[in-house]
Amino acid sequence: MKKTIRLSLIAASVLALTACNQEAKKEQAEVKLDTVEQQQAYGIGASVGNFLNKDLADKTEIGIELDQALLIRGFEDALAGNAKLDEEKIREVLTELDTSVRTKQEEKAKVESEKSKEAGVKYLADNAKKEGVTVTESGLQYEVLSEGDGEKPVATDVVKVHYKGTLLDGTEFDSSYARNEPTTFPLNRVIAGWTEGLQLMSVGSKYKFTIPSELAYGDRDLGKIPANSTLVFEVELLEIQNEEAPAQ
Per DSSP, the three-state class of 248 is coil
User: Is 91 part of any domain?
Assistant: no
User: Is 205 part of any domain?
Assistant: yes
**Domain extent for 182:** 129-241
Compute the distance between CA of residue 194 and CA of residue 174 in angstroms, rounded to an integer: 14
> 77 with 136, same domain?
no
CA distances from 49 to 2, 200, 202, 220 (A): 21, 51, 52, 31
Compute the distance between CA of residue 114 and CA of residue 120 in angstroms, rounded to an integer: 10
> 141 with 199, same domain?
yes
Q: Which of 84, 112, 144 is the last residue of a domain?
A: 84
Contacts of 21 (CB under 8 A, 6+ apart): none
> 141 with 237, same domain?
yes
User: Is 120 part of any domain?
Assistant: no
Say what the pLDDT of residue 5 is.
46
User: Is 64 part of any domain?
Assistant: yes
**Helices 2-20 and 87-128: crossing angle, nearest 10°?**
100
User: Is 98 part of any domain?
Assistant: no
Q: Which of 84, 107, 138 is the last residue of a domain?
A: 84
Compute the distance between CA of residue 89 and CA of residue 96 in angstroms, rounded to an integer: 11
**Count of domains forming the chain:** 2
pTM of the model: 0.67
Catalytic residues: 163, 173-174, 191, 217, 233
Compute the distance between CA of residue 10 and CA of residue 173 in angstroms, rounded to an integer: 32
Q: What is the CA radius of gyration of the chain?
A: 26
- The pLDDT tens digits of the residues spanning 52-86 come to 778 777 888 888 887 777 766 876 788 788 889 98
DSSP at 144 = E
Helices (H), the chain: 2-20, 22-27, 36-61, 68-79, 87-128, 176-179, 192-198
User: Is 94 part of any domain?
Assistant: no
> 159 with 228, same domain?
yes
- The pLDDT tens digits of the residues spanning 96-112 come to 999 999 999 888 888 88
Q: Closest by alpha carbon to 248, among 179, 185, 174, 199? A: 185
- The pLDDT tens digits of the residues spanning 184-240 come to 999 999 999 999 999 999 999 999 999 999 999 999 988 899 999 999 999 999 999
> 133 with 66, same domain?
no
Compute the distance between CA of residue 211 and CA of residue 213 in angstroms, rounded to an integer: 6
Residues 248 and 184 sit within 8 Å (Cβ to Cβ): yes
User: Is 112 part of any domain?
Assistant: no
Residues 215 and 146 sit within 8 Å (Cβ to Cβ): no
Say what the pLDDT of residue 2 is.
47
Compute the distance between CA of residue 243 and CA of residue 67 in angstroms, rounded to an integer: 60
> 79 with 140, same domain?
no
Residues 113 and 226 sit within 8 Å (Cβ to Cβ): yes
Q: Which of 30, 55, 84 is the last residue of a domain?
A: 84
> 136 with 79, same domain?
no
DSSP at 220 = -
Say what the pLDDT of residue 20 is.
47
Residues 213 and 150 sit within 8 Å (Cβ to Cβ): no
* CATH code for position 176: 3.10.50.40
> 155 with 55, same domain?
no
User: Is 113 part of any domain?
Assistant: no
